[in-house]
Amino acid sequence: MKQKKYLNVPKIIGHRGVKDLAPENTLDSIIEAFRIGLKWIEIDVKISKDNIPFLLHDDDFDRTTNGTGIASSYNYSQIKKLDAGKFFYKKDTKIYPPTLKEVLSLCKKNKGGINIELKPNLGLEKINVEEILKITNLFKEYVPLYFSSFDLDSCIAVKEISSSNSCGILIHNFNHYSFEEILKIIEKFKFFSCGLNIKIINTELVKRLKNMNQLITVFSEKNITNEQALYLWNIGVDSIFSDDPRDILYNFNSF
Ligand code: G3P
Ligand code: MG
């Protein structure tokens, strides 16, 4: 597919920046990812009460900031005051949850690419996507990017708003949709990529997705090891999400 080649997604993508090396989904984490040599990062985007897209993985602030409660109940001016580095460094920091706009500016400056994972507020999927696309459209000539989500409604909204957007579905398991149903969905909505939990990977599944010209990515709850990475690339996986890619990058030329 033309789109897949055009984006030139590398074999390693930094997960939430590089989440084991700096606080996830912060400017610090993205700066670190580019500093150690990554070309692309993945981040999670949520929307504030006043419709500002900003970076957060969970539905609430409790795990990764000194705040509490759900993202959609706060305006971004309040969110910017939160400490998003303390959970990682175990001391007060000036690190805050950045806006998507700041992150895209950083990618532009570093000539980096980005996979934007949509973490929608329940019931507001389409409005959330609209707000995010208003921001990404400002950068489309400068920053290579594609969207992804576990939420099918968000993926469909991305394609409905503009069919030229690249979007992929993320899959933890086949409890909601069978693999055959997923293939039909990919074809129907012309999705660009398929992101799979490492737990469900097998050669047959990768082969079938490759036949559909999908960009195949793999994520894991733990940092993907060198051995796992080699196996995944060998069976045809295009890219892996890494929490700490230093070892893989160091050994990359000998793989
Ligand atoms: O997009 C891959 C990966 O980020 C999905 O899982 O929970 O880390 O957002 P999660
Ligand atoms: Mg993610």
Distances (CA, A) of 199 to 44, 195, 238: 21, 12, 17
Report whether residue 32 contacts ligand 1, using a CB cutoff of 6 Å.
no
Question: How many Å lie between the centroid of ligand 2 and the Cα of residue 118?
Answer: 8
Residue 252 has a pLDDT of 72
- Check pLDDT > 90 for residue 254: no
Cβ neighbours for 28, distance < 8 A, ≥ 6 positions apart: 17, 22, 85, 95
- Check pLDDT > 90 for residue 253: no
Residue 1 has a pLDDT of 45
* Protein residue whose Cα sits closest to atom 5 of ligand 1: 219
For 6-58, write each residue's pLDDT tens digit.
799 999 999 999 999 999 999 999 999 999 999 999 999 999 999 999 999 99
Q: How confident is the model at residue 255 (pLDDT cuts 50, 70, 90)?
A: low
Q: Residue 173: CA atoms inside 13 Å, Cβ hemisphere, count?
A: 2
The residue-averaged pLDDT of 118-123 equals: 93
Judge contact between 155 and 168, C-beta under 8 A: yes
For 135-159, write each residue's pLDDT tens digit.
999 999 999 999 999 999 999 999 9
Report the atom number in ligand 1 closest to the C-alpha of 57: 9
Report whether residue 44 contacts ligand 1, using a CB cutoff of 6 Å.
yes
The residue-averaged pLDDT of 182-192 equals: 97
Cβ atoms within 10 Å of 115's Cβ, excluding its own: 26
Residues present in the chain in total? 255
Residue 3 has a pLDDT of 53
Question: How many Å lie between the centroid of ligand 2 and the Cα of residue 43?
Answer: 6
For 98-112, write each residue's pLDDT tens digit.
999 999 999 999 999
- Strands (E) across 1-112 are located at 12-15, 40-47, 53-55
Two structure tokens written together for 183: 């293939």
Question: How many Å lie between the centroid of ligand 1 and the Cα of residue 14?
Answer: 11
Average pLDDT across the chain, whole number: 95
Two structure tokens written together for 200: 């469900």
Question: How many Å lie between the centroid of ligand 1 and the Cα of residue 219?
Answer: 6
Q: Can you state the angle between helices 27-35 and 100-110, rounded to 10 degrees?
A: 20
Residue 251 has a pLDDT of 83
Two structure tokens written together for 49: 């009460």
Ligand nearest, relative to CA of residue 146? 1
Ligand nearest, relative to CA of residue 243? 1
* Protein residue whose Cα sits closest to atom 7 of ligand 1: 57
Strand 215-219, strand 239-242: pairing:
parallel
For 199-249, write each residue's pLDDT tens digit.
999 999 999 999 999 999 999 999 999 999 999 999 999 999 999 999 999
For 54-69, write each residue's pLDDT tens digit.
999 999 999 999 999 9
* Protein residue whose Cα sits closest to atom 6 of ligand 1: 219
Match 């789109």 to its residue by tokens: 3
Q: Residue 158: CA atoms inside 13 Å, Cβ hemisphere, count?
A: 28
Exposed/middle/buried for residue 177 (C-beta within 10 Å: 0-12, 13-18, 19+): middle
Report whether residue 243 contacts ligand 1, using a CB cutoff of 6 Å.
no
Question: How many Å lie between the centroid of ligand 2 and the Cα of residue 44?
Answer: 5
For 75-94, write each residue's pLDDT tens digit.
999 999 999 999 999 999 99
